[in-house]
Amino acid sequence: MNQIEHLARELARQFYDQKRSDRFRSRNALTRAKTLKYFEGRAIREVTVAVPFQTAYPDPETFSKGHWPLFVDAARKCLVNMLSLPTTSPSDKEHIYLALLEDKDKRDQQGGGALLQQRKPEPWHADQLLKGFQ
């Protein structure tokens, strides 16, 4: 895991802990989750179902696993800002600079600057979460 991804995951955890609205914290709030559904003729399809948010994401780590790509741009901005701070040590600045260069190289290799943030979050299935809701 590179420095940008690490920081993006940490920002997602911090968002979960600190920046949530009352609606976000509500036990009645729903979110979408993907699960496998069996149809007639033994066809299996991935479908999206509504699940209580607190059930789908009971802790910051679970939230971070699925949502860290949404925080990549903010992580990049934080690292760039750290480069301009006089309190950041020269060795830390070098590590940050190298991480930003590595990230740019990866984006260039992915098709002319495709953003890491545009990747879909890691897929997961809510079969275990949905047992009590079907």
Query: How far, in Å, CA of 43 to CA of 115, rounded?
Result: 35
**Closest among 25, 12, 19, 15 to 64, alpha carbons compared:** 12
Q: What pLDDT does 20 receive?
A: 64
CA–CA separation, 27 vs 94, rounded Å? 45
Cα 132 to Cα 66: distance, rounded to the nearest angstrom: 22
More confident residue, 83 or 43: 83
Integer Cα distance of 55 and 21 in angstroms = 17
How many residues are present in the chain?
A: 134
What pLDDT does residue 24 have? 66
The residue among 29 and 8 whose pLDDT is bigger is 8
Indicate the residue type of 5.
E
CA dist., res. 55 & res. 57, Å (int): 6
Phi/psi of residue 92, nearest 5 degrees: -65, -40
Residue with tokens 């149809």: 39
Query: What is the residue-averaged pLDDT of the chain?
Result: 78
Does the reported pTM lie above 0.95?
no
Task: Write the pLDDT tens digit of every residue in 56-109.
Answer: 888 899 889 888 999 999 999 999 999 999 999 999 999 999 999 998 888 888
C-alpha 26/C-alpha 69 separation (Å) is: 24
Helix axes 72-84, 3-18, angle to 10 degrees: 110
